Amino acid sequence: MANESSDGPAVTPDSSATTLRIATSGFVDSFNPFTSIYLTPTGIFRQVYENLVQYSAEDGSPTEGLAESWETSEDGMTWTYKIREGMQWSDGEPLTAADPEWTYTQMMEVPEMGSANGGLVSSFESVEATDEHTLVITLSEPQAANPGVEIPIVPKHIWSELDNPVEYANDEGDVVGSGPFTIESYAQNQSIELAANPNFWRGAPNFERIQYVYYTNSDAMVQALRAGEIDIVTGLSPTQFDALEGQDNVVAHSGQGRRYTSLALNPGFQTADGEEFGTGSEALKDVEVRQAIRKGIDAQTLLTQVLDDQGTLATSFIPASFPDWHLSEDNPVIMDYDVEAAKSQLEDAGWTEGSDGVREKDGERLALTILIDADSPLDQASGEFLVPWMAEIGIELNVEMTDSDTISTKVTAGEYDMYFSGWSMNSDPDYQLGINTCANLPTETDGSGGTTQDGYCDPKFD
């Protein structure tokens, strides 16, 4: 019988020993690899679609995927890939160089098809399958990163027959893939079922299926883990993690992660055509206000009091787990916690303190709202520190408690001032950097058709 608790899963987890059960509360916009950017679906893409080139598990360097080898011309402008012979899609159809050719060409020629990963093909001049097992990518300028990484390759014989592939949810029936698993079923906010792909070129995986089971909060996930209903739980608070150490049949592992958490601000949204949208505070369009907010936040206290020192201070959105790309802690661009400097910066920008302690400018009070996920103890705890910190520098911060799906919807539409965000990085930073370029601004005023974080666009960054 399914658990009827409001915190528990809407489906009964599979108790079979051949099923890996993972607790989740992750948001799924769709399983369309051309448009989806959220953590849960993009993580599943890695199981369903093999990339042309993969990352080595040992050091993150490029290693074989659909391509078993590659070579680069002396001028760095041409990359030639040898596609492994004898590979099949999960439906038994042959997998050839025509599949990556079609995938990349769509992203190059149809802007909407490059919503998620378009930045990775921005330097592509042409892509050609010269025969069934050879793919040639010609660049407009040399680049350091291997052009074959990160982009999920889809089956041409399926996707080319779709009337509108941009709108394809890719979650019904047996989804055809090339990775170790395929999407077998999806029920929104209930479960995601993956089935082993016997045609995977490395061989069928040891698990017959993976089941992602939805829970509304992390406490319910922990209870399910203790009861043996779930095999893996991640993203726990320090208190929850500490309580699980030493428990029978539970292995607790704390490692250096590839994910960061940030306080996201709304600097004003516009489409690629320059049409403004969203309901963010006008005050946040002022970089002086945004910088003052940063100076008014004691990140070390959040690390100590909220995360119980189970983390590292961020210097940028590339975590310390990637030392080659991580910004050093002594870099002069990093802003330190400095209340007096924050006050002075607001004062110099024309925000003067009112009788109630809240700053004003041109008749506008400096009052902002932060969206807090009601199911996230870490977000709630952080918010409790932020409210008095902002008050100390003259900003009234109001808390709006809601759920993660609502936050995702509001953020996409630019209808917020502040919220807690987070992304997972990969061993090469190009993807994370690339999605934040001006080329990835939304195409519609509902925020769709783009991936840049919080409407960010800066030609200097590009």
Does the pLDDT of residue 323 top 90, yes or no?
Answer: no
Q: Identify the domain boundary among 215, 244, 273.
A: 244
Mark 352-386 as b/e (b = at least 16 C-beta within 10 Å): eeeeeebbbbeeebbbbbbbbbbbbbbbbbbbeeb
The C-alpha atoms of residue 170 and residue 176 are separated, in whole angstroms, by 9
Whether residue 214 is contained in a domain is answered as yes
Whether residue 192 is contained in a domain is answered as yes
Report the CATH number at residue 168.
Answer: 3.40.190.10
Q: By C-alpha distance, which of 127, 129, 122 is closest to 104?
A: 127
| pLDDT level of residue 435 (50, 70, 90 thresholds) | confident
Domain count, the chain: 3
Does 141 share its domain with 24? Answer: no
373-403 tens-digit pLDDT? 998 888 999 999 999 999 999 999 999 999 9
The C-alpha atoms of residue 338 and residue 139 are separated, in whole angstroms, by 46
Q: By C-alpha distance, which of 303, 250, 260 is closest to 39?
A: 260
| pLDDT level of residue 75 (50, 70, 90 thresholds) | very high
147-203 tens-digit pLDDT? 999 899 999 999 999 999 999 999 987 799 999 999 999 998 889 999 999 999 999
Q: What is the pLDDT of residue 233?
A: 93
**The residue to which tokens 């993690």 are assigned:** 241
Mark 176-206 as b/e (b = at least 16 C-beta within 10 Å): bbbbbbbbbbbeeeebbbbbbbebbbeeebe
Q: What is the pLDDT of residue 4?
A: 35
Whether residue 12 is contained in a domain is answered as no
Does 400 share its domain with 366? Answer: yes
The C-alpha atoms of residue 148 and residue 120 are separated, in whole angstroms, by 9
Does the pLDDT of residue 108 top 70, yes or no?
Answer: yes
Does 293 share its domain with 424? Answer: yes
Report the CATH number at residue 133.
Answer: 3.90.76.10
Whether residue 382 is contained in a domain is answered as yes
Does 153 share its domain with 172? Answer: no
For 6, the 3-state DSSP assignment is coil
CA distances from 85 to 134, 201, 230, 285, 421 (A): 10, 10, 38, 54, 42
CA distances from 458 to 39, 421, 439 (A): 25, 20, 10
Whether residue 235 is contained in a domain is answered as yes
328 conformational bin, left if phi > 0, alpha if psi -120 to 50, beta if neither: beta
Amino acid, res. 216: T
Strand (E) or helix (H) holding 45: helix 39-48
DSSP states of 356-424: TS-EEETTEE-EEEEEEETT-HHHHHHHHHHHHHHHHTT-EEEEEEE-HHHHHHHHHTT--SEEEEEEE
Mean of the per-residue pLDDT values for the chain?
91
**The residue to which tokens 């369009």 are assigned:** 285
| pLDDT level of residue 3 (50, 70, 90 thresholds) | very low
* Contact criterion met (CB below 8 Å) for 115 and 35: yes
The C-alpha atoms of residue 387 and residue 391 are separated, in whole angstroms, by 6
Does 311 share its domain with 437? Answer: yes
Whether residue 6 is contained in a domain is answered as no
Does the pLDDT of residue 318 top 80, yes or no?
Answer: yes
Amino acid, res. 75: D
DSSP state, 296?
Answer: T
Whether residue 228 is contained in a domain is answered as yes
The C-alpha atoms of residue 372 and residue 382 are separated, in whole angstroms, by 9
pTM, two decimal places: 0.73
- Terminal alpha carbon distance of the chain: 53
Q: By C-alpha distance, which of 34, 180, 178 is closest to 93?
A: 178
Q: What is the pLDDT of residue 8?
A: 66
Does 79 share its domain with 41? Answer: no
As given in the structure block, the two tokens for residue 204 are 């069928």
**The residue to which tokens 């949208």 are assigned:** 277
The C-alpha atoms of residue 457 and residue 434 are separated, in whole angstroms, by 11
Does 61 share its domain with 174? Answer: no
Does 342 share its domain with 271? Answer: yes
Q: Identify the domain boundary among 216, 244, 272.
A: 244
Q: Identify the domain boundary among 103, 130, 159.
A: 159
Handedness of CA 32, 34, 37, 43 (dihedral sign): positive
CA 227 to chain CA centroid, Å, is: 30
As given in the structure block, the two tokens for residue 125 are 């001049």
10-31 tens-digit pLDDT? 677 776 779 999 999 888 989 9
As given in the structure block, the two tokens for residue 276 are 């403004």
Domain span at 310:
259-455
* Contact criterion met (CB below 8 Å) for 37 and 451: yes
Whether residue 9 is contained in a domain is answered as no
Does the pLDDT of residue 331 top 50, yes or no?
Answer: yes
**Average pLDDT over every residue of 89-106:** 98
The C-alpha atoms of residue 293 and residue 308 are separated, in whole angstroms, by 23
